[in-house]
Amino acid sequence: MRLAIALGLAAALTVAATASGHGAAHGAPKGFSPLAAAVVGTRDIWIFGSYRGCAGPCVALVRSRDGGRHFKTLAAPPLSGGPTLDFTGPRVGYAFASGSQLYVTRDGGDTWRSLSPAGVTDVAVGERDVYAVFTKYHRRSETGPVRPPSARVERRPVAGGSWHVVKLPVKFRYPISVAAQGRKVWLVGSTQVGAGLVTLRSTDRGRTFAQGDAFCLHNVPDQGGRLVPAGRRVVWAVCPTGDGNSSSLSLSTDGGRTFRPFGVTLKSGAEIFPSSADAAVLYRGGSQGPLLRTADLGRHWADARGTDQLWELFWLRFATSRAGAALGTTFSHPNRASFWRTTDGGATWHSLPIR
């Protein structure tokens, strides 16, 4: 579910109801279609989605506190497109869409407040800090050369305070992704057209960075190049292969210093979702059949039961080593997302209605 801060612009913007006028109400709006979700533990679920039949932007946020058996409609941050939700606990959560402002809730989703002006393209939450990537795209001149975009990373304490620019040893030009786990931070980006992706890693909350393996050999914007930490020293990586239609999978067991590629070719949009240091679920991109699961760092893979009808996966997260949730479409309903849950680490999935 990826900040040039002027404090005046980041003044509190509290959203007390959805853009369509919904306050707290039992159940999801009629025709609700999921776009993004977040899970905490085995009981707390939030799903952001759209629906028809209202005046203005039809978006809503629904929450369940009983594992998905019942939902209630809450306030929704004013987002559209492909939003991302990330809750760090039952009360604190973040939401953004690429290029939007970053929003925060501290009451479980009842109200949302803006933390930044627009321009956010990726976000990660660490032990004590929120890390946000800002990407600036320049207007194309009719006479002059095309100016490449520029990107920067800023950090803000989770408990509140000011944003500060994170000083990096390289100047990223093209969209970068950020990942965080505890005090560790990873950045992946490109410095110029056609260059391989650069990997930066920090073990001190982003104060200093060291450069790691360039695990991706090609830079294909918006088609990969993401690190996914899974344990103290385990980091997965998915990146484009260069033809724009496929991706590759790599694994690091030394904290991101070096990566070992797997001999498999994945479709564009492939993603990896760890449930523990050893186990993970792999989406191969496109309509490539069921999800795959490994319990031994990729030595062996097996089909995840209940996902044989998967058409396209939008989102998947694990709240614990065994409990997780996913959003995606199926062959029988390719235009409407379904909601799935797992309680065995991703080995088996069950569809759950949103009501």
Higher pLDDT, 46 or 213: 46
Q: How far apart are CA 329 and CA 161, in angstroms?
A: 40
CA gap 243, 350 in Å, rounded: 35
The encoded tokens of residue 108 equal 């479980």
107, β-bridge pairs: none
User: Tell me: the pLDDT tens digits for 269-288?
Assistant: 889 999 999 999 999 987 77
Is the model's pLDDT at 354 over the cut of 50? yes
Q: Does 218 score more than 80 pLDDT? A: no
Record the pTM. Answer: 0.82
The pLDDT of residue 22 is 46
User: Mean of the pLDDT values across residues 152-160?
Assistant: 92
Q: Which of 26, 144, 38 is nearest to 92 (CA)?
A: 38
**60 or 355: which carries more pLDDT confidence?**
60
Reduced to 3 states (helix: H, G, I; strand: E, B; else coil), residue 27 is strand
* pLDDT on residue 10: 30
Q: State residue 6's pLDDT score.
A: 29
Which range, of 111-125, 133-147, 234-248, 315-329, averages the lowest pLDDT?
133-147
pLDDT above 90: percentage of residues in the chain: 46
At 194, list the tokens. 């056609």
Quickly list DSSP for 191-242. SSTTPPPEEEEESSTTSS-EE-----S---TTS--EEEE-SSS-EEEEEE-S
**What is the per-residue pLDDT for 188?**
85
pLDDT score, position 193: 63
Pick the range with the lowest mean pLDDT from 39-43, 84-88, 194-198, 326-330: 194-198
Residue 335 to residues 47, 318, 332, 338, Cα–Cα distance (Å): 17, 25, 9, 10
Look at 265 and 85; give whichever has higher pLDDT: 85
* Residue 196 pLDDT exceeds 70: no
**What does the pLDDT average to over 330-345?**
88
